[in-house]
Amino acid sequence: MAANTVVTIARQYGSGGREIGLRVAEKLGVKCYDKELLDRAAKDSGICQELFEHHDEKPTNSFLYSLVMDTYSFGYSSAAFTDMPINHKVFLAQFDAIKKIASEESCVMVGRCADYALSEHPGAISVFIHADLDKRIDRISRKYELSAAQAKDRIQKTDKQRSSYYNYYTSKKWGDANSYHLCLDSGILGIEGCVEMILKAIEVKDAARHAKK
């Protein structure tokens, strides 16, 4: 694995994306950042961690995306950041934390628009994990001891939330194959199959990068 390799994993709820991320990180001998991204963002920004948890991957009210990105250039002490709504401060701090972590170490990152934040990172490989709804209902029903109807409702609400958040803060579309390097069906490939595909993709990308030198 090349230095500063970062795997970003976006996922449909119930597809096993987090588990896949943890297994990939274990295989590579690196950290997997999920909720840990919130810890780092809170520490670096000085914003209360509870606010990160409250706004985590939740859609926001209409606001100019350009203001968020312009503020990123000036930092947390700028007047624009001070006057910004808290949900945008939270996103900006997460965006900053993702880029900092990626500059410091190889790792796996789950969710939180990490693929978009690292779109220009040469060592990043973005993955989207999906599966048929029936298989996700079965997984969530068993994991949380829910009825099929309850599991379906939770899945649809969570996916809508993630999609709205991603589509608002990025220039791409959540779940669209054009938004990622690799899209994998965990319902067909299984957890371990997805892990192996991601590891192989890293190997192939490393070889391609080396060939260009």
Distance of CA 13 to the CA centre of its chain: 12
pLDDT value of residue 50 = 67
Flag whether 146 is in a domain.
yes
* Domain region containing 23: 6-212
Distance CA 97, CA 31 (A): 15
- Residue 173 confidence (pLDDT) above 80: yes
Question: 32: which residues sit within 8 A by CB, 6+ positions away?
Answer: 21, 22, 24, 25, 26, 107, 108, 109, 110
Mean pLDDT of the chain: 85
Retrieve residue 186's tokens.
């965990």
Indicate the Cα dihedral angle 109, 179, 118, 122, nearest 10°: 110
pLDDT single digits (tens) 64-120: 344 444 444 445 455 555 556 677 777 888 888 999 999 999 999 999 999 999 999
Flag whether 1 is in a domain.
no
Flag whether 41 is in a domain.
yes
Flag whether 77 is in a domain.
yes
Flag whether 72 is in a domain.
yes
Flag whether 42 is in a domain.
yes
Residue type, 79: A
Flag whether 175 is in a domain.
yes
Number of domains in the chain: 1
| Helical residues (DSSP H) of the chain, grouped into ranges | 17-28, 36-45, 49-55, 65-72, 79-82, 86-104, 114-117, 133-144, 148-169, 186-212
The CATH number linked to 36 is: 3.40.50.300
